[in-house]
């Protein structure tokens, strides 16, 4: 394992969040924490970090960490167990189930947050040695449609372009991407291009987002209609002779068929407008912009991938780039934005159930090649089950043992209640995790294996532009946590495969992975890093970020793909793919008149096991919400700031209502980040339909038919506590980390006196209290010394006391007498005004402070920055600053999400 530098120097590593793959400099503080800054020498970010990356230092605490192997004992409780016993148990149970029911009865479910080396070893064990391809990954929910679309068009899963193209394009088209929040550092690069070179930007999304704030053209398409839009574009380009006939003839096949199909879907500007819900002017403007701008990059993400026609959407986009030859050229390419830090690495090792390692497929020659390279005794010969089908098979009892590594499927799978129930049926559920508890662990793990986390683990990840970067350890391994690859290797050894899994280091695994990529390759496969197959341990330790392909004998890695054809199909020609007519898999009807769209917020990462630890990240949007268009709000009787119950055929959630004209009529939007671990009723995956794309198997997470109804609570308020609390079962609650402890935003209908007794049961009898039960107000606090230990503020909806101010008093530690008196009044005292919900996470600048500055004359984000510093570090909040300026004087405000203001 990598030793930690005793001199506590800065270690250069890579951010563990999104696929931008920013370089990070981490300087350990010697007591388990680290100072974090952007690495100026990393080509992905050149020193910049977004709010999540900047807050990494706040997420290194060990409080919630799984530090020892645990096993479920007969009483149902989890007990610590020695590593060797845990590994023996896992190997024995897997071997037993395989012997009894065959290799199809076991499965691995992996993650794009594993390192390439972990992923490689897991895939090798399952596909090569256990003999099943039932190894799939959360990338199925994320990148599968892009993978399938790439493979259909290019013959391989290739991202042709580079980040530099975003600096050099004249037109940037973002389709189904909220990059301002989800790929913030790349988004800032695009904005810099706009400012410096005047590049224009088109944003295609059913809802307005912070990404659309800077768009020259916003296309608020009907959900699922992207295929029609890009089919219409292809027809327009062909009919106006704006295509590259030479490129099409020399390097591609299938153009005529694709055009015929595109014409049937959207044969004119008018037909495109009808199919997409856009105006003809907007459609025409978009078509003209695309046609007139050779340097165009089309970036796409989950609005494209996560749909039941996701693969066709991808190909409809690729068709337009192939038809104009705008691919793999400087400033001109299609560009799939990857989600997770190692979404690309996972694809490189063949982590998906329908791929083999090193971008090989389940064809007889590839199977044979991988078998010989691995000396695999029992290689899988056909594709395994894709995530949704895998969990269905678990639910039917066909898969009996599952090993989950680095993902939280009880939250993130569609129809998440069904997924969670399926987990409960397993004979063996093994989970390799960083955290002691999450919803998947809670669904009945039999064995928990403690994996090293970011900052401790060491290996490689690949970002959206095919750049392989090192994650390096800068902290010592805590407790008995071990690298994921080591854990898998130890189980493999106990299964009798010691010779093939005797790895001494991540570097050794990387060398094998690199060698396989070039094994009998000779240019036939895109993924080839043969030049790295003999890298020394020292070379691996010092490896700079490097693009692939990097073939044996290359001095420099090559850069872009396909500008001169040379695709990875049998005839080396790219393929136009004729898409099916775009239809959503589900229909709305009287009982489910709306469509539920789901996605991300700026400062949280997925199920919040890490970002949820940071007070500053929790301050931007602290509670789960449902965004509704004002007309729908009026129709269904929903007031901004009230609660609503959202129901689908699959589940139900209760969420805070945000009324916003940024939402399309007939659509709802909810963030995906809350789970049972941090909220009472906001696990949004339980609402999502499990329908999948026929080519990619990716679920349609953004268009589930839903209904909404007001849900009323008499009381609202919050609890602040130094330690985790179990809230009463009847309460609605959502948890956020705050400075000094935890905050619970709550709402309830139960009697206030009951809350008073509950508080006594968790905080003791010695309370300072203010109660006006008749008026519906109860406030109380317990103290340790002069500092608040626990406090509860409840009042009539929206009048519980100021959460912002009480949070500050809670964080402050010992309080002076007047502060103590002021506390229960719930009102601001002199010198302590509430700053509102935090907009700038880096400097903790609140909305009220910003609005005051705007009222006092600040007219641009730069002026606000000068005055308050807001927006001057990572820049993630600049779109919101601009929106606040634009909205000054109007009511609409997405940030209006405080429970108790
Ligand atoms: N802050 C933050 N950043 C992240 C993550 C995170 O959890 N938090 N996760 C990372 C991961 S793994 C991923 S995959 C990426 C995802 O990054 P994005 O794909 O940018 O994020 P989403 O919010 O899932 O969805 C993007 C947009 O698709 C739109 N959309 C929905 N339906 C349609 C449609 O039919 N057509 C079009 N054109 N658009 C549609 C939604 O309204 C939404 O605004 O983000 C990565 N970055
Ligand atoms: N409705 C809806 N559902 C979605 C989406 C959506 O837009 N809408 N998006 C989908 C997408 S794109 C994605 S990527 C998924 C993400 O969904 P998940 O992968 O389920 O979410 P995470 O919270 O990232 O889960 C990662 C888990 O791995 C643990 N972990 C982190 N690092 C390591 C490590 O190095 N080793 C091990 N062993 N464990 C580790 C963390 O503690 C955490 O519990 O959600 C998908 N689900
Ligand atoms: S953009 Fe933010 S989350 Fe993504 S890699 Fe960079 S710092 Fe990390
Ligand atoms: Mo993702």
Nearest ligand, CA 303: 1
Q: What is the mean pLDDT of residues 11-20?
A: 98
Distance (Å, whole) CA 380 – CA 106? 13
Mean pLDDT of the chain: 94
- As a CATH number, domain 144-336 is 3.40.228.10
What is the residue extent of each domain of the chain?
11-59, 70-142+342-547, 144-336, 594-711, 715-823, 838-900
Q: Whose CA is nearest to atom 14 of ligand 1?
A: 339
51 CA to middle of ligand 3, Å? 8
pLDDT confidence band for 823 (50 / 70 / 90): confident
- CA-proximal residue: ligand 3, atom 2 (nearest): 50
Ligand 2 centre distance from Cα of residue 653 (Å)? 20
213 in Cβ contact with 191 (< 8 Å): no
- Decide if 894 contacts 881 (C-beta within 8 A): no
CB 833 within 8 A of CB 847: no
Using DSSP bridges, classify how beta strands 845-846 and 70-72 pair: parallel, antiparallel or unpaired.
Answer: unpaired
Ligand 2 atom nearest residue 305's Cα = 12
The 10s digit of each residue's pLDDT in 855-864 is: 999 999 999 9
**pLDDT at 893 > cutoff 70:** no
Out of 65-74, 210-219, 535-544, 814-823, least confident range: 814-823
pLDDT tens for 98-154 read 999 999 999 999 999 999 999 999 999 999 999 999 999 999 999 999 999 999 999
CA-CA distance, 604 to 606, in Å (whole number)? 6
Of the pLDDT bands very low, low, confident and very high (cuts 50, 70, 90), residue 896 is very low
Tens of pLDDT along 713-758? 999 999 999 999 999 999 999 999 999 999 999 999 999 999 999 9
Atom 33 in ligand 1: residue holding the nearest Cα: 303
pLDDT band at 892 (very low <50, low <70, confident <90, very high): very low
Non-local CB neighbours of 865 within 8 Å, separated by 6+ positions = 871, 872
Ligand nearest to C-alpha 137: 2
Q: Round to whole Å and give the CA distance between 298 and 317.
A: 8
Residue 205 CA to ligand 4 centre (angstroms): 17
Answer yes or no: is the C-beta of 113 below 6 A from any ligand 2 atom: yes
**pLDDT the model gives residue 833:** 62
Pocket around ligand 3 at a 6 A CB cut-off: 15, 17-18, 20-22, 45, 49-50, 52-53, 183-185
pLDDT at 819 over 90: no
Q: For the chain, what percent of residues have pLDDT higher than 90?
A: 88
- Domain boundaries 11-59, corresponding CATH code: 2.20.25.90
> What is the CATH code of the structural domain delimited by 838-900?
1.10.10.1100
454 or 878, which is more confident: 454
The CATH number of the structural domain formed by 70-142+342-547 is 3.40.50.740
406 C-beta closer than 6 A to ligand 2? yes
Q: In this model, does residue 609 exceed pLDDT 90?
A: yes
In short, whether 506's Cβ falls inside 6 Å of ligand 2 is: no
pLDDT (0 to 100) of residue 897 = 36
Among protein residues, the one with the nearest Cα to ligand 2's atom 11 is: 142
How close is the Cα of 55 to the center of ligand 1, in Å?
Answer: 21
339 lines ligand 2 (CB under 6 A): yes
* CA 118 to ligand 4 center in whole angstroms: 18
Is residue 895 over pLDDT 60?
A: no
Both tokens of 870, joined, read 């807001």
Q: Is the pTM of this model over 0.85?
A: yes
Please report which confidence band the pLDDT of residue 583 belongs to, taking 50, 70 and 90 as the band edges: confident
State the pLDDT at residue 328.
Answer: 97
What pLDDT band is residue 894 in, cutting at 50, 70 and 90? Answer: very low
- What pLDDT is attached to residue 779? 93
Contacts of 30 (CB under 8 A, 6+ apart): 8
Minimum CA distance residue for ligand 1 atom 24: 599
Mean pLDDT of 23-44: 96
- Per-residue pLDDT, averaged over 811-826, amounts to 85
Supply the DSSP symbol for 787. E
Give, for ligand 2, the residue of 15, 16, 67, 113 to mutate: max count of ligand atoms closer than 8 Å to Cβ.
113
Confidence of residue 43 (pLDDT cuts 50, 70, 90): very high
Mutating to test ligand 3, I would choose from 14, 19, 46, 52 the residue with most ligand atoms within 8 A of its C-beta, which is 52
Rounded distance from Cα 176 to ligand 1 centre (Å):
7
Count of CA atoms in the C-beta half-sphere (13 A) of 778: 23
- Of all ligands present, the nearest one to the C-alpha of 39 is 3
The pLDDT assigned to 372 comes to: 98
Distance between Cα 565 and ligand 3 center (Å): 33
Q: State the average pLDDT over residues 258-278.
A: 98
User: Strand 741-748 relative to strand 467-471: parallel, antiparallel, unpaired?
Assistant: unpaired
* Domain 594-711: which CATH number of 3.40.50.150, 3.40.50.720, 2.40.40.20, 3.40.50.300: 2.40.40.20
Nearest ligand to the C-alpha atom of residue 873: 3
Is the pLDDT assigned to residue 61 strictly greater than 50? yes
If you measure from the C-alpha of residue 347 to the centroid of ligand 4, how many angstroms do you get, rounded to a whole number?
A: 13
| Average pLDDT score over residue span 765-778 | 91
- Nearest Cα residue to atom 4 of ligand 3: 18
Report how far residue 344's alpha carbon sits from residue 352's, in angstroms, rounded to the nearest whole number. 11
User: What is the pLDDT averaged over residues 871-886?
Assistant: 88
For atom 18 of ligand 1, the residue with the nearest CA is 177
Ligand 2 centroid from CA 678, angstroms? 15
Q: Which protein residues touch ligand 1 with a CB less than 6 Å away?
A: 18, 52, 142, 175-179, 181-182, 204-207, 209, 221, 223-224, 226, 301-303, 307, 339-340, 597, 599-600, 602, 604-606, 702
Does pLDDT of 574 surpass 70? yes
Residue entry with tokens 């589940």:
651
Determine the atom of ligand 3 nearest the C-alpha atom of 16: 8
* Model confidence pLDDT, tens digit, residues 314-353: 999 999 999 999 999 999 999 999 999 999 999 999 999 9
Mean pLDDT along residues 684-713: 97
DSSP-derived secondary structure for 350-366: T-STT-BTTTB-SSHHH
For the segment 758-767, the average pLDDT, to the nearest whole number, is 95
The lowest-confidence range among 249-258, 686-695, 801-810 is 801-810
Asked whether residue 873 carries a pLDDT value surpassing 90, the answer given is no
Cβ(67)–Cβ(450) below 8 Å: yes
Q: What is the pLDDT of residues 366-424, one digit of tens each?
A: 999 999 999 999 999 999 999 999 999 999 999 999 999 999 999 999 999 999 999 99
């Amino acid at each position: 394992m990598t030793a930690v530098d005793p001199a506590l120097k800065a270690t250069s590593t890579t951010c563990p969040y999104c696929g931008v793959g920013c370089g990070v400099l981490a300087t350990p503080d010697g007591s388990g924490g680290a100072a974090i800054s952007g690495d100026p020498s990393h080509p992905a970010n050149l020193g910049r970090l977004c709010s999540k990356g900047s807050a990494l230092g706040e997420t290194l605490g060990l409080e919630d960490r799984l530090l020892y192997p645990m096993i479920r004992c007969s009483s149902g409780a989890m007990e610590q167990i020695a590593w060797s016993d845990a590994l023996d148990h896992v190997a024995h149970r897997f071997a037993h189930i395989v012997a009894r029911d065959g290799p199809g009865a076991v499965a691995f479910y992996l993650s794009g947050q594993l390192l390439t080396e972990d992923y490689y070893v897991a895939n090798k064990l399952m596909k090569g040695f256990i003999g099943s391809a039932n190894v799939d990954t959360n990338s199925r929910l994320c990148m599968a449609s892009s993978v399938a679309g790439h493979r259909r068009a290019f013959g391989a899963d290739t991202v042709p372009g580079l980040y530099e193209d975003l600096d050099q394009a004249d037109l940037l088209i973002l389709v189904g991407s909220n990059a301002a929040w989800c790929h913030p550092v790349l988004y800032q690069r695009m904005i810099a291009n706009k400012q410096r070179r005047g590049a224009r930007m088109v944003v295609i999304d059913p809802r307005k987002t912070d990404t659309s704030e800077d768009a020259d053209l916003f296309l608020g398409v009907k959900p699922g209609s992207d295929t029609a839009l890009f089919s219409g574009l292809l027809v327009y380009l062909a009919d106006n002779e704006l295509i590259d006939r030479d490129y099409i003839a020399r390097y591609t096949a299938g153009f005529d068929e694709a055009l015929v199909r595109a014409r049937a879907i959207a044969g004119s500007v008018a037909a495109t407008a009808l199919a997409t819900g856009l105006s003809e002017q907007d459609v025409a403007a978009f078509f003209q912009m695309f046609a007139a701008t050779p340097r165009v990059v089309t970036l796409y993400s989950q609005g494209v991938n996560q749909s039941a026609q996701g693969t066709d959407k991808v190909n409809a986009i690729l068709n337009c780039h192939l038809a104009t030859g705008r691919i793999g050229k400087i400033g001109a390419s299609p560009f799939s934005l990857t989600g997770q830090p190692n979404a690309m690495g996972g694809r490189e090792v063949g982590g998906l159930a329908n791929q083999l390692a090193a971008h090989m497929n389940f064809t007889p020659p590839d199977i044979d090649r991988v078998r010989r390279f691995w000396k695999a005794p029992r290689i899988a010969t056909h594709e395994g089950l894709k995530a949704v089908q895998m969990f269905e098979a678990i639910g039917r009892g066909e898969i009996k043992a599952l090993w989950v590594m680095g993902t939280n499927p009880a939250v993130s799978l569609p129809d998440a209640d069904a997924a969670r129930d399926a987990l409960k049926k397993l004979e063996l559920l093994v989970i390799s995790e960083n955290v002691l508890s999450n919803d998947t662990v809670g669904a009945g793990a039999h064995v928990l294996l403690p994996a090293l986390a970011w900052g401790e683990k060491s290996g490689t990840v690949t970002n959206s532009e095919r750049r392989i970067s090192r994650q390096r350890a800068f902290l010592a391994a805590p407790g008995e946590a071990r690298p994921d690859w080591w854990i898998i290797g130890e189980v493999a050894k106990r299964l009798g495969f010691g010779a093939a899994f005797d790895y001494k280091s991540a570097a050794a695994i990387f060398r094998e992975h690199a060698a396989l990529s070039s094994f009998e390759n000779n240019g036939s496969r895109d993924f080839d890093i043969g030049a790295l197959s003999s890298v020394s341990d020292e070379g691996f330790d010092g490896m700079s970020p490097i693009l692939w392909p990097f073939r044996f004998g290359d001095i420099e890695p090559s850069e872009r793909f396909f500008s001169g054809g040379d695709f990875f199909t049998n005839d080396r020609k790219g393929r136009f793919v004729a898409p099916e007519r775009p239809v959503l898999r589900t229909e709305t009807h009287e009982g489910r008149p709306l469509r539920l769209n789901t996605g991300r917020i700026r400062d949280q990462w997925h199920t919040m096991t890490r970002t949820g630890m940071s007070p500053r990240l929790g301050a931007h949007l602290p509670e789960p919400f449902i965004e509704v268009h004002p007309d729908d709000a009026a129709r269904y009787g929903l007031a901004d700031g009230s609660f609503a119950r959202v129901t689908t055929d699959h589940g139900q959630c209760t969420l805070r209502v945000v009324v916003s004209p940024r939402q399309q009529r007939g659509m709802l939007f909810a963030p995906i980040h809350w789970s049972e671990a941090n909220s009472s009723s906001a696990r949004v995956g339980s609402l999502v339909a499990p329908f999948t794309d026929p080519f990619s198997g990716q679920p349609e997470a953004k268009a589930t038919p839903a209904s909404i109804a007001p849900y009323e609570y008499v009381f609202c308020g919050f609890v602040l506590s130094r330690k985790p609390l179990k809230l009463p079962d009847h309460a609605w609650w959502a948890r956020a980390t705050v400075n000094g402890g935890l905050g619970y935003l709550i709402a309830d209908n139960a009697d206030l006196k009951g809350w008073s007794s509950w508080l006594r049961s968790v905080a003791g009898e010695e309370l300072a209290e203010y109660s006006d039960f008749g008026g519906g107000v109860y406030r109380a606090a317990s103290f340790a010394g002069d500092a608040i230990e626990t406090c509860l503020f409840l009042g009539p909806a929206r009048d519980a006391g100021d959460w912002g101010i009480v949070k500050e008093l809670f964080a402050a530690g010992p309080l002076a007498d007047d502060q103590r008196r002021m506390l229960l009044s719930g009102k601001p005292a002199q010198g302590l005004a509430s700053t509102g919900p935090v907009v700038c996470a880096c400097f903790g600048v609140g909305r009220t402070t910003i609005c005051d500055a705007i009222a006092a004359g600040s007219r641009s984000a730069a002026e606000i920055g000068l005055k308050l510093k807001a927006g001057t570090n990572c820049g993630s909040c600049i779109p919101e600053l601009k929106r606040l300026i634009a909205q000054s004087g109007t009511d609409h405000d997405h940030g209006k999400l405080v429970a108790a203001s």
